[in-house]
Structure 1
Amino acid sequence: MRLSELSGKEIVDVKRAERLGVLGQTDLEINESGQITALIIPSVKWFGFKRNGNEIRVPWQHIKKIGTDMIIIDIPENQIQ
């Protein structure tokens, strides 16, 4: 799958039923061989202002499904950074 095919998809946490962001507004962590190892999702913005300075790191193995409009993740609460 190409990065252009991922761009614009909503990222949704299945456990919290919460929209975390849109790929394109997130950063990608890429290893030396060019594989994506994690999504780095910035803190939620409210009317354009950051609510807090934290970010969520989602390891690639926690991505459960990539659909046509969204990416479903399942990340344990104790692993949210």
Structure 2
Amino acid sequence: MKVSDLRLREVINVYNGKKLGLIRDIEFDLDQGKIKSIILPGGNKVLGLLGKNDDIVIPWHKIKKMGLDVILVELSDFNDTRYEEY
């Protein structure tokens, strides 16, 4: 699998079914030759007036399944109100 293939897949939190977005970057552990985490864009803050939120860093061990179009992650402790339904 190519890194560029990972960047085209939607990341979904299986804990609550929310779409978290596409992968922006990937962090590698060069000593071990493994992927350490995936990084998603944090999005805009209140109406985009106050800049951007921090990126969302998802450790590799939180990835539960990779499909052709999606990556399923389990983030039971993820508390970002942008992804909650109103």
TM-score range, shorter chain: 0.7 to 0.9
> Can you give the 5+ residue segments of structure 1 that lack an aligned partner in the other structure?
none
The reply on whether 1:30 has 2:42 as its aligned counterpart is no
Q: Calculate the aligned-residue CA RMSD, in Å.
A: 2.7
- Of Structure 1 and Structure 2, the greater strand share is in 1
Contact preservation (8 Å) 1:20, 1:44: no
Question: Larger Cα Rg: Structure 1 or Structure 2?
Answer: 2
Q: Which amino acid aligns with 1:75?
A: L
Mapping 1:2-41, distance limit 5 Å: 2-23=2-23, 26-33=24-31, 34-41=33-40
TM-score by length of 2: 0.70
TM-score by length of 1: 0.74
How much identity, in percent, do the aligned residues show? 29
> Can you give the 5+ residue segments of structure 2 that lack an aligned partner in the other structure?
81-86
